[in-house]
Every structure is written in C-alpha cells, then in structure tokens.
C-alpha cells in the first residue's frame, strides 16, 4: 500500500472510530426494532408507502463531526435536500434522481464529504428509491427506532453530519445479507468511480476528509 493510500485509510479509520462511538451512544438510548420480514413494510402506494413516510425520530446532533446552523444548512442545500436530510422528510418514489441510476461510483452524504454507499451494493428493489444491501462503512450510518405512523421501522442517518437518509428493512437479497437500505436520493450525492478514485488519492495526500 503506497503512502497516499495508507494516509487516506488511516484518516478514514479515525473518522469511522468517531462515528462508531456516536453510533454506540445512540443505540444505548434507542432500541432498534426489527423490521417486518415479508416485504410489506415498503409496499409502494405513492407517498404513503412505509419507505416514503417521513420520520420524526430525534437524532442527537451534538455528537456529529460536521455541524452547521439551520440557516447555514438552508444555504448549503436545495429545498428538497434540506427538507429530506435536515427535516427527515421524504421524496416521491420513481420521481427522484438516483432510483434508476446504473452508473458505477459511490454515493456520498449530501451534507458532508462522507462516502456512504457503493453502486456495487445497489440493487433493483422495485420500490422507486435507491436501495443498497450495505453501507460502505457501517460506523458512518446510524440506526434509530422509528415507531411513527403506527408501524415499527428502523431509521438510518449519517453519523458524521446527522443527515436523515431513509430506512433499513430486512427484506433485501438473502444472498447478500438480507438487508435493504431504502435511501432518499435527496440525501445523497453521486460521484463516478474515476472521480471517486481521484478523491481518495487527494484526501489521502491531504490527510483529511473535507466537509462542506
């Protein structure tokens, strides 16, 4: 492993350790509920599907690495990005940027330079939202029990910047662990593979992960 890549992964590991500590603290205060196993949790019915319903869980933003005031977030994000990522809203199925994106690359949090999901773990779920079998680094993605709307779901968010991402269900491909991360496009920023590789090289050399 060359010096640049070693520096990058040392930095990534440090960020992961910070996120993992945050995640452990969150889980000690929130009991993660098991999602329905029959797939009914995400039956598509316009904006009324379980994946598409907004969340009202409380995320402790005080422990996030990347922080901005509400006014700053509004200036940094588009209206739909702000509504989904900062206000735990949702977007319409089959009417969002990445649900049908088949390009090779990596999906970052829209609120920071944090890689969250790889296109190689993306699959067609038929729900109309981007779906992944796993995050790039589990420590970057936190889970919180969501019992709103009379159902039990598991909300997922970025541990680094507190952005609401979507929900995770256990009706994903069994051959790849059985999980389905149902994620809002508005919470993501896509980076093509070659650009991502250049980003890795740059951030490895710099020894830091830049934030918005």
Structural domains in the chain plus CATH codes: 3-206 (2.170.150.20)
Per-residue model confidence as pLDDT tens digits over 15-36: 444 444 444 444 433 433 333 3
Record the tokens describing residue 191, joined without a space: 């980076």
**pLDDT for 76-113, tens place per residue?**
999 999 999 999 999 999 999 999 999 999 999 999 99
Q: Inform me whether the pLDDT recorded for 204 exceeds 80.
A: no
And the tokens for 53? Answer: 């319903």
Report yes or no: 144 and 28 within 8 Å, Cβ to Cβ. Answer: no
C-alpha distance from residue 35 to each of 145, 174, 197 (Å): 10, 15, 35
- Among 45-59, 100-114, 162-176, the least confident range: 45-59
DSSP helix/strand/coil, 24: helix
Q: 169, 159, 91, 85: which is closest to 132 by C-alpha? A: 169
**Res 203: pLDDT:** 84
Of 42, 51, 111, 182, the active-site residue reads 182
Backbone angles phi, psi at 58, to 5 degrees: -100, 120
Return left, alpha or beta for 94; rule: phi > 0 is left, psi -120 to 50 is alpha, else beta: left
User: How are the residues of the chain apportioned to helix, strand and coil, as percentages rounded to the nearest 5?
Assistant: 35, 20, 45
**CA 172 → CA 39, 77, 143, 179, distances in Å?**
9, 30, 17, 4
What pLDDT was estimated at residue 52?
80
More confident residue, 61 or 183: 183
Query: Backbone phi, then psi, for 181, in 5-degree steps?
Result: -85, 105
- Residue 49: which pLDDT band, with cuts at 50, 70 and 90? low
For residue range 144-167, list pLDDT tens digits in order.
999 988 888 999 999 999 999 999
**Pure H helices in the chain:** 3-29, 70-76, 79-81, 193-206
> Is 182 annotated in the active site?
yes
C-alpha closest to that of 114 among 211, 5, 49: 211
* pLDDT cut 90: percent of the chain above it: 62
Q: Contact 186/84 with Cβ under 8 angstroms?
A: yes
Length of the chain: 212
Interval 124-130 mean pLDDT: 93
Q: What integer pLDDT is reported at residue 148 of this predicted model?
A: 87
């Amino acid at each position: 492993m060359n010096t640049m890549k070693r520096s990058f992964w040392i930095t990534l590991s440090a960020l992961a350790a910070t996120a993992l500590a945050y995640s452990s603290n969150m889980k000690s205060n929130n009991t993660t509920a098991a999602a329905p196993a029959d797939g009914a949790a995400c039956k598509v019915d316009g904006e009324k599907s379980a994946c598409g319903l907004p969340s009202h869980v409380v995320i402790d933003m005080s422990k996030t690495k990347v922080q901005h005031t509400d006014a700053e977030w509004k200036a940094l994000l588009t209206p739909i990005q702000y509504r989904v990522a900062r206000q735990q809203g949702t977007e319409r199925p089959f009417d969002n940027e990445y649900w049908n994106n088949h390009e090779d690359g990596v999906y970052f949090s829209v609120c920071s330079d944090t890689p969250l999901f790889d296109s190689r773990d993306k699959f067609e779920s038929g729900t109309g939202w981007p779906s992944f079998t796993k995050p790039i680094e589990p420590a970057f993605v936190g889970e919180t029990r969501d019992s709103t709307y009379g159902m039990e779901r598991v909300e997922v968010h970025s541990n680094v910047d507190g952005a609401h991402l979507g929900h995770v269900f256990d009706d994903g491909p069994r051959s790849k662990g059985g999980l389905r991360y149902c994620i809002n496009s508005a919470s993501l920023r896509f980076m093509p593979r070659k650009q991502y590789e250049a980003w890795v090289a740059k951030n490895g050399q710099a020894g830091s992960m830049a934030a918005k």
